[in-house]
Amino acid sequence: MIDFLRGLISHVESEYVVLDVRDVGYQVFTPNPYAFAGKEETVTIYIHHHVREDAILLYGFETREEQTLFRKLLEVSGIGPRVALGILAGGRPDAVIGAIQQENIAFLTRLPGIGKKTAQRMILDLKDKLAGFATDAGLLAAAGLAPHQPISAASAQLGTGTAWEEAREGLSALGYTAAELDKAWSVLSPSVSAEETVDSLMKRALQQLFKG
């Protein structure tokens, strides 16, 4: 079983790259082949070696995290390698894991090939299995936020340069619309405390958004 390959990128297509490993070209399907375009140095690609009756296929990833999440996704009924690859092409691993742990069906159904039933199966099958892979800090990092930023209730109500603005940006990155976020904030804003942080606002908002 191939775990990783190390070599030079010799060719890039829309769905795969060709990796030259000691004069042997390996066709490797990857979420974003163009991320490898122009790289002249030796690269390491972490591999999932997929064998079926009519083909032997290699799926490759830039990080171990992507490789591990890809394999976890294959455990979900209805998700094959192509769909799992599309999920990783549509969302960063931290964001996908965070959405599963937060039971964020709205985000998951925006990923390629994922309907509501499949999103529900992803949550049911993987939420506990991914507990060690993502943290609140990881979810915030996926949205480009810094955790544990304090905010006063007064500044939160102003809505300018506040933790809610940063939390809102992060939630927007997860696929929520302005209307959905405004509705969630209208419910949350009266109860904002002086100890509120960016990550706590995100968690509370996600709970509200999930309720609809």
CA count, 13 A, side-chain hemisphere, 50: 21
Q: What is the pLDDT along the chain (212 residues), one digit of tens a residue?
A: 899 999 999 999 989 999 999 999 999 999 989 888 888 899 999 999 999 888 899 999 999 999 999 999 999 988 999 999 999 988 788 888 888 988 899 889 888 889 999 999 999 999 888 876 654 444 444 444 443 344 344 333 433 336 777 778 777 766 778 888 888 888 888 877 766 677 777 777 877 776 65
Extract the tokens encoding 35.
């991320």
- Per DSSP, what are the bridge partners of residue 56? 51
**Is the pTM value of this prediction over 0.75?**
no
Give the whole-angstrom CA distance, residue 107 versus residue 10: 35
User: Is there a contact between 180 and 209 (Cβ–Cβ < 8 Å)?
Assistant: yes
Report how far residue 97's alpha carbon sits from residue 87's, in angstroms, rounded to the nearest whole number: 11
**Torsional class of 91: left (φ above 0), alpha (ψ -120 to 50), beta (otherwise):** beta
Question: Residue 75's beta-bridge partner residues?
Answer: none
